Copies of this chain bind each other. A is one copy, B any other.
């Protein structure tokens, strides 16, 4: 589907690397023009935010974005934790211990932890999985890396692979690039997948994931963008400098 084949009635936005860049020790740095771009989307279109972040609660992320200068609604932020909770509930994983007792665990939930990924914590998770007959990892996204101001940083995906290999576990991905995750945000706008674009800095999780869900994928040249992705097997529907350019181009196209 070409970026111009159908009017764009709604936008899904990745947060980190698109709206701001993370920077250790600070709340992060705004990407120029992104506050105004989000304001335009609220005024002239529809917008939802889809992120795999899981270190903090949605409330915490909402407050951080507000401090950075964004005006948005907390309930428009989609994060994988609630979806993972639903999976655990739907599959009766918690049936045996409805009081949420974690003293006898039977699966491992893996999300952002960054400095929490020590040998001890990884090994504790490994031992839980190693003990079970059908080891299951529920992952909050499976990103390869993300971009911080001080350089690229390993994301949760690698650590999932580490545990998966060590104990031959099954992996269920919640969050991007899982199709259901995108669909939930599209449904919330009352739109159809082909009426929406996803704007992100990750060629696999954002652009590829959206395209698999029938959503057009826009790649920005901010955040973790790499020049070598020009030759990536995943081809974005649109490649732009940043969120502002994407919004300028696509709102114009929509109105004309």
Contacts and interface: CB of A to CB of B under 8 A. Distances in A.
Which 7 pairs, one residue from A and one from B, show the smallest C-beta to C-beta distance?
A158-B162, A158-B166, A162-B162, A161-B161, A161-B165, A117-B119, A126-B154
Copies of chain A in the complex: 2
Interface string A165-181: 11110000000000000
Interface in A94-116: 114-116
Nearest to A119: B117
A87 interface: no
Where chain A touches its partner, the secondary structure class is helix
A154 B118 contact: no
Contact of A126 (B115, B126, B145, B168): B145
A145 B123 CA distance: 10
Interface of A: 114-120, 122-123, 126-127, 130, 144-145, 151-155, 157-159, 161-168
B161 A164 contact: yes
A140 to B, nearest CB: 16
Given A157-B165, A162-B162, 20 more contacts: A115-B118, A117-B119, A117-B122, A118-B118, A119-B154, A123-B153, A126-B152, A126-B154, A126-B158, A127-B151, A127-B152, A130-B152, A144-B168, A154-B163, A155-B166, A158-B161, A158-B166, A161-B161, A161-B164, A161-B165
Which has the most chain B C-beta neighbours within 10 Å: A153, A163, A164?
A153
A128 to B, nearest CB: 11
Contacts of A126: 145, 152-154, 158
A129 B214 CA distance: 33
Contacts of A152: 126-127, 130
A144 B167 contact: yes
Contacts of A153: 123, 126
B127 A119 contact: no
B162 A166 contact: no
29 contacts: A114-B119, A115-B118, A115-B120, A116-B119, A117-B118, A117-B119, A118-B118, A122-B154, A123-B153, A123-B154, A126-B152, A126-B153, A126-B154, A126-B158, A127-B152, A130-B152, A144-B165, A145-B166, A154-B162, A154-B163, A154-B166, A155-B166, A157-B166, A158-B162, A158-B163, A158-B166, A159-B162, A161-B164, A161-B165
